[in-house]
Amino acid sequence: MKKIRKRKLFHHYQFNRLSKRAGSWVAAMAALLLIIGGLTSVKPTYRIYSETIQDWTSQIDGPSFLYLFSMENKMYKEAYPDNVKPPDLTTMGFQLATSLTPNDPRSLLGRELPGLDTYHSEILVAGEGTDYTNLPIESHPPLDVVMEDREAVDPEEEEPVEKTERKDAPSTGDRNVVLIYNTHNRESFLPHLAEGTEHAYHDEVNITKVSDRLAKALEANGIGAKVNERDVTAFAKEKGVAPYDASRTIVTEAMASNKDIQYIFDLHRDGAPRDVTTTEIDGEIFAKTIFVIGAEHEAYEKNAKLAADLHELLDEKFPGLSRGVIKKKGNGVDGKYNQDLSEKAILLEFGGHENSLDEIYRSVDAVAEVFSEYYWEAEKVSGD
């Protein structure tokens, strides 16, 4: 009798334990489905993207990753540096949860004080009014926000570029010595989008028009220029890569197919407000420019020298037009901007999302004029 009762109790215990396990499994699956449903149904602005996860994980250094992996696989302990202490898991958890880096007050101040979130930037040459509170804002909106269809307002008819009429004016002939492209090719301008538009991105009325204008202005000064018209945003989405990885492929292919290329310009527009990106020169409104140099490669100083020379020429002829030259490196930024491919490659921002194309075209013509003088002077020196 006691054996029967014990057997029943045992079976009852086993049944309860299996029931609890089954219930826990069902609850876990239900929670997982709810989480997945929530993540896929919320507005795009609030979704968690791979870039968000990358931002979180970029806060963890390499040895800490190895330490975490070694907790599951002991083989990773062999690769852990001998001179590095194991990380404090509490500190690491705090860093991931708050995005604050211990012993680096900039990680807090950069989110509390205007402009200091750009602490990955360093001013190499400060233009008029440029300081660490008004550096360029490099936005990273989700891809579906960038590619969203928006209504555009037809821009006013573009004023023609003034061509050099001198018969003895120098020319590169049929050689295209300047390559122009746009990594963020859908960056647009609010004055040319429908009223009430929140995000300044468009598939046609965008920064590529600025590139076309620069090519025309350079050609008017005898310098052959080629604009790569590939939709980098769509190409990056198709290949599943970051924008600068996509444009790197495009630049590499262009350089391989055209050995005449000497200078490479990647054109962007800033996300800073209008009062930062606009100036008045001789009674006309211009969109300001700024040069951005990636510092995460050995030869970046040569690109920086080119940018500094152009800034000085601009400042001499069009005072206040150039905001200066900055370099960028560290977590959260590309750090190279494909400038490791050439010693004469720069990233140049024209105006911001609140500037009009007319204001930007004036700046483009000014840059083309100054660069042409720089180019022909350099050609004369190299010829001598």
Mean pLDDT to the nearest integer, 193-200 = 90
Measured between alpha carbons, how far is 51 from 156 in angstroms, rounded to an integer?
Answer: 37
pLDDT tens column, 216-268 = 999 999 999 999 999 999 999 999 999 999 999 999 999 999 999 999 999 99
pLDDT tens column, 273-318 = 999 999 999 999 999 999 999 999 988 999 999 999 999 999 999 9
The per-residue pLDDT for 133 is 82
User: How many CA atoms does the CB half-sphere of 382 hold within 13 Å?
Assistant: 6
Measured between alpha carbons, how far is 102 from 118 in angstroms, rounded to an integer?
Answer: 18
Contact 267, 348 (CB under 8 A): yes
The per-residue pLDDT for 320 is 96
Nearest Cα to 260, choosing from 319, 344, 204, 177?
A: 177
- 76 class by beta-carbon count within 10 Å (0-12 exposed, 13-18 middle, 19+ buried): middle
Mean pLDDT to the nearest integer, 337-363 = 97
Decide: helix, strand or coil at residue 184: coil
pLDDT at 106 over 80: no
> Tokens 């204001």 belong to which residue?
359
> Dihedrals φ, ψ of 147, to 5°?
-90, 5
The per-residue pLDDT for 383 is 64
Tokens of 52: 């968000």
Q: Cα 87 from chain centroid?
A: 31
DSSP run (H or E) holding 279: strand 278-281
For residue 263, how many other CB atoms are within 10 A of its CB?
A: 21
Measured between alpha carbons, how far is 184 from 190 in angstroms, rounded to an integer?
Answer: 16
DSSP run (H or E) holding 264: strand 263-270
Q: Which residues are registered as beta bridge partners of 227?
A: 180
pLDDT tens column, 317-336 = 999 999 999 999 877 788 89
> Tokens 């000497």 belong to which residue?
262
Tokens of 279: 């100036």
Contact 350, 210 (CB under 8 A): yes
pTM of the predicted model over 0.75: no
pLDDT-derived band at 46, boundaries 50, 70, 90: very low
Decide: helix, strand or coil at residue 219: helix
